[in-house]
A and B are shown apart, each in its own frame.
Chain A
Amino acid sequence: MVQLDSPEALESFRQEILSKRDPKRPCISICAGAGCVASGATEVIEAFKAEIEKQGLAAKVDTKGTGCPGFCERGPVVVIYPEEICYLQVAPEDVPEIVSETIKENRVVERLLFEDPVTGERAVHESDISFYKAQERTVLCNNIKIDSRSIDDYLALGGYSALTKALGEMTDLEVLEEVKKSNLRGRGGAGFPAGRKWEGSRNAPEPIKYVIVNADEGDPGAFMDRALLEGNPHSILEGLILGGYAVAAQEGYFYVRQEYPLAVENINLAIKQAEAYGLLGKNILGSGFDFKVIVHQGAGAFVCGESTALMTSLEGKAGEPRPKYVRSNVKGLWNKPSVLNNVETWANVPHIINRGADWFTKVGTESSKGTKIFSLVGKITNTGLVEVPMGMTLRDIIYKIGGGIPNGKKFKAVQTGGPSGGCIPEDQLDLQVGFDELTKAGSMMGSGGMIVLDEDTCMVDVARYFIHFLTDESCGKCVPCREGLRQMDRILTNITEGKGKEGDIELLEELSETAVEASLCALGKSAPNPFLSTLRYFRDEYEAHIKEKRCPALSCKELIAYYIDPEKCMACGMCFKKCPAGAIDGEKKKIHIIDQDKCTNCGTCFEVCPTKFGAVTKISGEPVPAPVPEEKRMISKKTPSKESQKGK
């Protein structure tokens, strides 16, 4: 094993790796991230390896499982280099064809390419796909190119060159100044300028300091940090080492949640590899800088993403926030100055050191620089991770990259910022994404969750869902959060169940004020946001629930009823057969009716009623029409269903 004892040694080792690699040699990259593995990537990788072997190409072609490129909707994703041909939703059965056609004959397998849902055009290269076209991938771009378990792959792509630059050419203060100049803001939630945070620690008198990676990503629907941890762990580690150098810390921590086993494994492996090469440990690259990194697994409490709770947990105590008015960069872990940044923030640092703060600040808005990764989920055509320049409009993210709302539904709102973020309505879609812009709109950047909601989503229920999540995740230490959220959860549940009372909105507002103003930590202070932002933009929905016992989105189970329109029912028997509650009465040629007393509002009839009939409807806020009298239930005419089938 090589021990690299100077920046020059690392650079020449990099050249050595590159000299052994032929850029023209075909390489099959298969995403081995959690999303693609869930849709069968492991089998696809095995199939490729076996097929390459079978066709006698093992000496000529590389196959590797890589990090997540973000297009999870269409996984498993396969990219074939050097042409960068991108195949989507690849199954093991497709593998022999890909190898014989694309690898051997250089022909594209059309049916596995991305097909633009609007134009119908197929895109051969990854960069031609509409999902990727409008993105700007700085932090995520290497994910698909490297085997996340190989430090040599990272080095081959220029990895650790920021470290050689920093240790070889820059003083620790210059590294700090560069990060300060870049105006990099924390990607974890509050958006605090990283450079200022670092400076505070550096200037604190305590000689022992720590740098920590917050990898306790716990927002429902968010997986950007996971993709980086699993896919490109060295990029985060390099950032952390640079941070350690800049603030004069000698120890760094990864606080990773236990629920990310692959991330834990890859980070541990990355640390071992870096240690073996001499990129961690004593006298790194001969610079005299000592630095070691320890991985700590969190036990799965959402609140441990909060800085002081995370540090308490790191100390081995129950993960509860501290009631102190001293910043943790001055008095943090074991009361020592501690810089805590999230995964994505650290992963940005090597790029800033490599290319300079001026390069970094070219992208973005006045107050938010660089790019931001969002996990675009919910009612959106292209689910996945997207990295966009700060300042891109929500509309562009949702429509240009996300491909809009599926099934012809109407957009209603986008929920950003994680559970304690807020919902932004349609008339604000031209809002540019940025820390201050999103906060002004009543939401927040958070760590970058973006959940798209369509017209079928009830906004009161959305608020209830997130408040319930936060109630569950409250650590229980302070009253405004523990008791306040518990009551908010109850009141919101009552409203969605049709038990809302006059005055509930005001009561919720009062509880919100107390939680925002008096909670101990950021979890409680921001917890009422889901309620406050939905109230701000969708007050009419709250009022409809409370005053009319009506759910405008026809979503709240207790407030709707299913009804079969006798004019439209063709007695096909689908709903009758599928109803799990036996609530539907009907027979051949006899109009079906729902026994409202037996109906559990599960919605099965609504889903199975053939679209061409559309006889089952949802109603809310009005009485269910009386069923057709028995004598009028027989359908005498020939069922149009047969006629229409003949027509086809």
Chain B
Amino acid sequence: MSDIQFEIDGRQVKAAKGMTVLEAAQGAGIFIPTLCHHEKLEPFGACRLCIVEVEVKGWTNLVVSCVYPAAENIIVRTRSGKVDRIRKTIIELLMAHAPESPKLKELALEYGAVKDRYEMDSSFCIHCGLCVRYCAEVAKKNAIGFVDRGINKEISFIPEIAAKECNDCKECFPLCPTSYLQAAFVLAQSLAFPESEPGEKPK
């Protein structure tokens, strides 16, 4: 199985063909921070927090480890001045949405991120897409999706599906790093779920 050998932070690591650098690192017990990654889901490459330095044939590049394929003889560095600086900026940008998220606070401590560096935004959602993708890929219900684009993008429950499926599932709830999902669910429930449907009544 272990047909690729390469280096992460000075350690020799083995990986199967087709594995990403992040998977190989996790397998070897090397920690790389992530927000949008989940082992049951297709790599999404959106939060960019798992960015690392990769040296291939003497050329150093920054890549995101959750989608970068592990390859023979590459040299990976999970921390560097630049990597840390970028992670800090990413955390600070997300803290403009969810300054009190425990997950973000923990990361902020590690990377010295300041929570009020940028102007605050009203939505707690950090668009990691864990709920949307879990519902589509694992639960296979498609009860929640992204709507709109860019800075106006939001997660939204599809009332017709959510009213039938969500009360008995809620598997996505613990995935949300900012608790925005739960708030969105309560809102969708009170606004859009027909009362005649079985399950919980709107609070």
| CB-contact partner of B89 in A325, A476, A482, A511, under 8 A | A511
Most B CB within 10 A of own CB, among A486, A511, A513: A486
B63 touches A517 (CB 8 A): no
A482 touches B151 (CB 8 A): yes
Question: Smallest Cβ distance from A482 to chain B, in angstroms?
Answer: 6
A324: nearest residue on chain B (CB-CB)?
B67
A323 touches B86 (CB 8 A): no
Question: Smallest Cβ distance from A502 to chain B, in angstroms?
Answer: 15
Please indicate the chain B residues that have their CB under 8 angstroms from the CB of A471 in the complex.
Answer: 150-151
Report Cα–Cα, A91/B126, bound state, in Å.
Answer: 56
A514 touches B89 (CB 8 A): yes
Given the known interface contacts A323-B44, A518-B90, A520-B48, the answer about A476 and B96 at a Cβ–Cβ threshold of 8 Å is no
Please indicate the chain A residues that have their CB under 8 angstroms from the CB of B119 in the complex.
Answer: 487, 490
B45 touches A482 (CB 8 A): no
B86 touches A518 (CB 8 A): yes
Q: Mark B69-86, 1 if CB is under 8 A from A, else 0.
A: 100000000000010011
B89 touches A510 (CB 8 A): yes
Given the known interface contacts A324-B67, A483-B93, A513-B85, the answer about A478 and B48 at a Cβ–Cβ threshold of 8 Å is yes
B69: nearest residue on chain A (CB-CB)?
A325
B118 touches A323 (CB 8 A): no
129-178 of chain B: CB within 8 A of chain A: 146, 148-153
Majority secondary structure of chain A interface residues (helix, strand, loop or mixed): helix
Report Cα–Cα, A318/B148, bound state, in Å.
Answer: 10
Report Cα–Cα, A150/B149, bound state, in Å.
Answer: 40
| CB-contact partner of B153 in A324, A473, A476, A487, under 8 A | A476
A478 touches B46 (CB 8 A): yes
| CB-contact partner of A517 in B46, B47, B82, B149, under 8 A | B82
Counting CB contacts under 8 A, is B68 at the interface? Answer: yes
B67: nearest residue on chain A (CB-CB)?
A323
Report Cα–Cα, A513/B67, bound state, in Å.
Answer: 21
Please indicate the chain B residues that have their CB under 8 angstroms from the CB of A478 in the complex.
Answer: 45-48
| CB-contact partner of A520 in B46, B49, B96, under 8 A | B46
Please indicate the chain A residues that have their CB under 8 angstroms from the CB of B15 in the complex.
Answer: none
B71: nearest residue on chain A (CB-CB)?
A325
Given the known interface contacts A510-B89, A513-B86, A518-B51, the answer about A476 and B150 at a Cβ–Cβ threshold of 8 Å is yes
Please indicate the chain B residues that have their CB under 8 angstroms from the CB of A517 in the complex.
Answer: 51, 62, 82, 86
B151 touches A519 (CB 8 A): no
497-533 of chain A: CB within 8 A of chain B: 507, 510-511, 513-514, 517-520
Q: Mark B34-64, 1 if CB is under 8 A from A, else 0.
A: 0000000001111111010000000000111
Please indicate the chain B residues that have their CB under 8 angstroms from the CB of A239 in the complex.
Answer: none
Given the known interface contacts A487-B119, A490-B119, A518-B86, the answer about A479 and B68 at a Cβ–Cβ threshold of 8 Å is no
Report Cα–Cα, A179/B62, bound state, in Å.
Answer: 32
Please indicate the chain B residues that have their CB under 8 angstroms from the CB of A480 in the complex.
Answer: 48, 86, 89-90, 93
Please indicate the chain B residues that have their CB under 8 angstroms from the CB of A485 in the complex.
Answer: 151
Q: Could you tell me how many residues of chain A have their Cβ less than 8 Å away from some Cβ of chain B? A: 31
109-138 of chain B: CB within 8 A of chain A: 117-119, 121, 126-127
Given the known interface contacts A487-B96, A520-B45, A520-B46, the answer about A325 and B151 at a Cβ–Cβ threshold of 8 Å is no
A479 touches B69 (CB 8 A): no
Please indicate the chain B residues that have their CB under 8 angstroms from the CB of A487 in the complex.
Answer: 93, 96, 118-119
B interface residue count range (under 10 / 10 to 19 / 20 to 34 / 35 or more):
35 or more
Counting CB contacts under 8 A, is A455 at the interface? Answer: no
Report Cα–Cα, A480/B92, bound state, in Å.
Answer: 11
| CB-contact partner of A323 in B43, B85, B97, under 8 A | B43
Question: Smallest Cβ distance from B45 to chain A, in angstroms?
Answer: 3
Report Cα–Cα, A517/B151, bound state, in Å.
Answer: 20
Report Cα–Cα, A573/B127, bound state, in Å.
Answer: 57
Question: Smallest Cβ distance from B47 to chain A, in angstroms?
Answer: 5
Question: Smallest Cβ distance from B22 to chain A, in angstroms?
Answer: 12
Counting CB contacts under 8 A, is A474 at the interface? Answer: yes
Please indicate the chain A residues that have their CB under 8 angstroms from the CB of B66 in the complex.
Answer: 323
Report Cα–Cα, A472/B148, bound state, in Å.
Answer: 11
Counting CB contacts under 8 A, is B94 at the interface? Answer: yes
Question: Smallest Cβ distance from B199 to chain A, in angstroms?
Answer: 30
Counting CB contacts under 8 A, is A475 at the interface? Answer: yes
A480: nearest residue on chain B (CB-CB)?
B48
Report Cα–Cα, A473/B96, bound state, in Å.
Answer: 21
Question: Smallest Cβ distance from A512 to chain B, in angstroms?
Answer: 10
Given the known interface contacts A325-B68, A490-B119, the answer about A479 and B86 at a Cβ–Cβ threshold of 8 Å is no
Question: Smallest Cβ distance from A493 to chain B, in angstroms?
Answer: 11
B43 touches A475 (CB 8 A): no
Please indicate the chain B residues that have their CB under 8 angstroms from the CB of A318 in the complex.
Answer: 146, 149
B148: nearest residue on chain A (CB-CB)?
A476
A483 touches B43 (CB 8 A): no
Please indicate the chain A residues that have their CB under 8 angstroms from the CB of B62 in the complex.
Answer: 517-518
B64: nearest residue on chain A (CB-CB)?
A323
Report Cα–Cα, A480/B86, bound state, in Å.
Answer: 9
Counting CB contacts under 8 A, is A272 at the interface? Answer: no
Counting CB contacts under 8 A, is A477 at the interface? Answer: yes
Counting CB contacts under 8 A, is A484 at the interface? Answer: yes
A325 touches B67 (CB 8 A): yes
Counting CB contacts under 8 A, is A413 at the interface? Answer: no
A514 touches B86 (CB 8 A): yes
Question: Smallest Cβ distance from B91 to chain A, in angstroms?
Answer: 9
B46 touches A484 (CB 8 A): no
Please indicate the chain A residues that have their CB under 8 angstroms from the CB of B45 in the complex.
Answer: 323, 478, 520
Given the known interface contacts A487-B118, A487-B119, A518-B86, the answer about A482 and B48 at a Cβ–Cβ threshold of 8 Å is no
Report Cα–Cα, A431/B86, bound state, in Å.
Answer: 34
Please indicate the chain B residues that have their CB under 8 angstroms from the CB of A424 in the complex.
Answer: none
B153: nearest residue on chain A (CB-CB)?
A476
Counting CB contacts under 8 A, is A301 at the interface? Answer: yes
Report Cα–Cα, A471/B93, bound state, in Å.
Answer: 15
Q: Mark A10-54, 1 if CB is under 8 A from B, else 0.
A: 000000000000000000000000000000000000000000000
22 A-B pairs in the complex with CB atoms less than 8 angstroms apart: A323-B44, A323-B64, A325-B69, A471-B150, A476-B151, A477-B127, A479-B48, A479-B90, A480-B86, A482-B150, A483-B90, A485-B151, A486-B151, A487-B118, A487-B119, A507-B117, A514-B93, A517-B86, A518-B48, A518-B62, A518-B90, A520-B45
Other A-B pairs beyond A323-B44, A487-B93, A518-B86, 16, CB < 8 Å: A318-B146, A323-B45, A323-B64, A323-B66, A323-B67, A476-B153, A479-B93, A480-B48, A480-B86, A482-B127, A483-B90, A487-B119, A513-B86, A518-B48, A518-B51, A519-B48
Binding site for B on A (CB under 8 A): 301, 318, 323-325, 471-480, 482-487, 490, 507, 510-511, 513-514, 517-520
- Across the A-B interface, give the 10 residue pairs with the lowest CB-CB distance, nearest first: A323-B45, A476-B153, A483-B93, A476-B150, A514-B89, A474-B150, A518-B48, A323-B67, A487-B118, A486-B151
